[in-house]
Amino acid sequence: MKTIYILDTKGNLDARKSDVISRHLKYAESFDQKCGTRGENGRIVVLGRNVNQPIFDSKYLDIIVFAKSKRLYQYFWKTRNFLSREEGKTVTLIAGDPWHSTVIALLIKLFIRKRVRIESQLHFDFINFFRSSGFFLSRVLPKITLMILSLVDQIRVVDRNSLKLLQNTMNTDIEIYFAPSLISVDPTFICSRTPEHNHDPRLLFVGRLHEERNPSDFIKFLRLLDSRGFKYDARIIGDGPLASELKLGCSDLVARKVLRFAGELSGKALLEEYCHSDILISCAKHESYGRALREAIYMGARVLTFETTGSGSLLEEVGAKYVTFISSDVTPEQLILKIEGLVRTEVDSRTKQQLRDGQDTILKTLSDHWDTLINKSV
């Protein structure tokens, strides 16, 4: 049995997040199939913290939640003790970020009497991510991050700009590869979307409500539409530290029933929102891949987005008729023209198939690199 351990220091695999669990089930099944080419079995074990224990049935995936690990040092100690008891003389760890989980992985390597191999993952645009951190931090944080990454065995990035940067910067002994995030593709979900005419466009914002996702600009755009009497129906999906402030600041829009806060959604509930929306508006200024953008287009919505690494790649993939760029200084007239241009199009089946086919390539890339890494540990 070949086993990969994923460190979930942020508690992403909560029982309520069915789409995240579904992605990990796909990772595990693909990894088992890769091991099966050599007559072996493969499994993935996720070590989580501070979440509700998910209930599911799989022989490829285990999720173990260390419930009483509110502090990272508690999580480290419980994880270290767990891995010490596991069979085998080697441990292969997947760290989902280059800070918390990678540092935990490096500490485990230091304090465990086993051979350890580590993959660190970058789910952000390394080139642009630190630029908004202020003069000092924008120069120091990249160097600290590169120093941490220099201690691992393998690095996964989700955008090609970061891939080029790290390949030109890092030690050549470290394997660096590109594998984007999986989008949520549920074959059992049937979108009941039908073309409608003469209805108010439904505008959608999806993401954690914090500064990085820039939800305040979404509200600003709604105000611009109001200033010209443009009718719309808006939804905000997500939760986060800015939620209360946003709700207070646009209580008039909620009272007029032109804006609704739907909270955090996943699985089929999220797919329903994509399905019945006309345009997803993304205000993130540092989008590395754009999973939400791709999920929206796959479900038939179009995308109005800031120009980022992720949205630029998406534009190249699906074309300008489904993706239009926007900026904070857009005028009301420009905004209306962009919205009206997008709602006149319908996403064709070829584009949806193209997005769906890409998922198999991502799974194969991940499984191949995880298999290579685990065999280095033998």
Q: Where are the domains of the chain?
A: 2-183+359-376, 202-345
Q: Is 119 exposed, middle or buried (0-12, 13-18, 19+ CB in 10 A)?
A: buried
**Tens of each residue's pLDDT in the chain, 378 residues:** 999 999 999 888 887 788 888 899 999 999 999 999 989 999 999 999 988 888 888 999 999 998 777 789 999 999 999 999 998 899 999 999 999 999 999 999 999 999 999 999 999 888 888 887 777 888 899 999 999 999 999 999 999 889 999 999 887 789 999 999 999 887 788 887 666 666 899 999 999 999 989 999 999 999 999 999 999 999 999 999 999 999 999 999 999 999 999 999 988 899 999 999 999 999 998 888 889 999 999 999 999 999 998 899 999 999 999 999 999 999 999 999 999 999 999 999 999 999 988 899 999 999 999 999 998 855
Residue closest to 294 by CA, chosen among 204, 157, 184: 184
Residue tagged 């350890």 (tokens): 116
Per-residue confidence (pLDDT) for residue 246, from 0 to 100 = 95
Architecture of domain 2-183+359-376: 3-Layer(aba) Sandwich (3.40)
Measured distance CA(80)–CA(225) in Å, rounded: 54
Q: Copy the structure tokens of residue 165.
A: 């940067």
Distance of CA 374 to the CA centre of its chain: 24
Give me the helices (H) in the chain, please.
18-36, 72-85, 100-111, 126-129, 137-149, 160-169, 215-227, 243-249, 251-255, 267-275, 291-298, 309-318, 332-343, 349-376
First to last CA, the chain: 12
Per-residue confidence (pLDDT) for residue 193, from 0 to 100 = 67
Per-residue confidence (pLDDT) for residue 195, from 0 to 100 = 60
Please give the C-alpha separations between residue 33 and each of 11, 43, 63, in angstroms, as whole numbers: 27, 10, 19
Q: Is the pTM of this model over 0.85?
A: yes
Domain 2-183+359-376 shares a fold with domain 202-345: yes
Measured distance CA(9)–CA(7) in Å, rounded: 6
Per-residue confidence (pLDDT) for residue 17, from 0 to 100 = 80
202-345, which class in CATH? alpha beta
